[in-house]
Amino acid sequence: MPNSVIDVKNLAKAYHDGQTETLALQKATFSVKKGEFVAIMGPSGSGKSTLLHVLGLLDEPTGGEYIFAGKNISEYGGDELAKLRNQKIGFIFQMFNLLPRTSVLENVKLPLLYSNVPESEWDKKAREAIDSVGLSHRLYHEPSELSGGERQRVAIARALVNDPEIIFADEPTGNLDSKSGKNVMSIIQNLNVKQGKTIVLITHETATAEHAERILHMIDGEIDNDRKVERRRSAEEEFVK
Ranges of each domain in the chain: 4-240
In angstroms, the CA 157 to CA 132 distance is 7
- pLDDT tens, per residue, the chain with 241 residues: 458 899 999 999 999 888 888 899 999 999 999 999 999 999 888 999 999 999 999 999 999 999 998 889 999 888 888 888 888 999 998 888 899 999 999 999 999 988 888 999 999 999 999 999 999 999 999 999 999 999 999 999 999 999 999 999 999 998 888 899 999 999 999 999 999 999 999 998 888 998 999 999 999 999 999 999 887 654 445 444 4
pLDDT of residue 239: 42
In angstroms, the CA 132 to CA 135 distance is 8
Pairing of strands 4-17, 63-68: antiparallel
Query: What is the C-alpha radius of gyration for the chain, rounded to an integer number of angstroms?
Result: 18
Other CB atoms within a 10 A radius of the CB of residue 9 amount to 13
> Nearest 5°: CA angle at 187, between 125 and 38?
110
Q: What are phi and psi of 42, to 5 degrees?
A: 160, 160
Could you say which of 3.40.50.300, 3.40.50.11440, 3.30.43.10, 3.40.630.30 is the CATH number of the domain covering 4-240?
3.40.50.300
| pTM given for the model | 0.90
In angstroms, the CA 25 to CA 13 distance is 5
pLDDT of residue 6: 95
